[in-house]
Amino acid sequence: MSVKKTGYLVPEKDDLKWAQGLKYFLSHPRVWKRYTRSARQVIDENFDLNKQIIEQQRLYSLIEKNNEIN
């Protein structure tokens, strides 16, 4: 998450700050829409399931090769 671009970061267990952030977004629908679009773009670019699977397979192959050497 990128603060002030894709999300609103609040301290852990700070319900008041969370409520203030939610209230802000409800009062500013254009800002909410912009954050939502930006967050969706980050998700699409960085959390593609096929990319994740390919990367995981690559990492397992490295581990397997390392185990063969040792």
| DSSP reduced 3-state for 30 | helix
Does residue 67 come out as left (phi exceeding 0), alpha (psi in the -120 to 50 range) or beta? Answer: alpha
Q: Report the percent of the chain where pLDDT is more than 90.
A: 61
Better pLDDT: 31 or 6: 31
| DSSP reduced 3-state for 7 | strand
Entry pTM: 0.58
| DSSP reduced 3-state for 5 | coil
Is the pLDDT assigned to residue 70 strictly greater than 90? Answer: no
pLDDT at 4: 64
pLDDT, tens digit, for every residue of 7-31? Answer: 888 999 999 999 999 999 999 999 9
